[in-house]
Amino acid sequence: MHRLFTRYPEALARSARIAEACRFSLDELEYQYPEERDDPTVTAQATLERLTWEGAAARYP
């Protein structure tokens, strides 16, 4: 990249800073289920599945 952008060293440096800022660890990911459920007798997983299917049906009729 340095060879391709020798006339723009500031762009190369900025790109490197952006790439550094974009790093993350897979350990940071976690499941987040809906806190509020329509029916408290239904599990969070079942609620998530229902909402997913409803959203899919609305987006892909």
Q: Is residue 22 included in any domain, yes or no?
A: no
Q: How many residues in total does the chain contain?
A: 61
Q: Is the dihedral of CA 7, 9, 14, 17 positive or negative?
A: positive
Q: What is the pLDDT of residue 10?
A: 94
Residue 54 has pLDDT above 80, yes or no: yes
Listed residue (17, 11, 50, 22) closest to 34, CA to CA: 50
**Contact criterion met (CB below 8 Å) for 44 and 37:** yes
- Residues 50, 51, 56, 61, Cα dihedral to 10°: 80
Residue 37 has pLDDT above 80, yes or no: no
**Contact criterion met (CB below 8 Å) for 5 and 16:** no
Q: Is residue 11 included in any domain, yes or no?
A: no
Percentage of the chain with pLDDT > 70?
Answer: 92
Q: Is residue 46 included in any domain, yes or no?
A: yes
Q: Give the domain extent around 55.
A: 34-61
Confidence of residue 35 (pLDDT cuts 50, 70, 90): low
Q: Is residue 20 included in any domain, yes or no?
A: no
* pLDDT tens digits, 10-33: 999 999 999 999 988 888 888 776
* pTM confidence score: 0.41
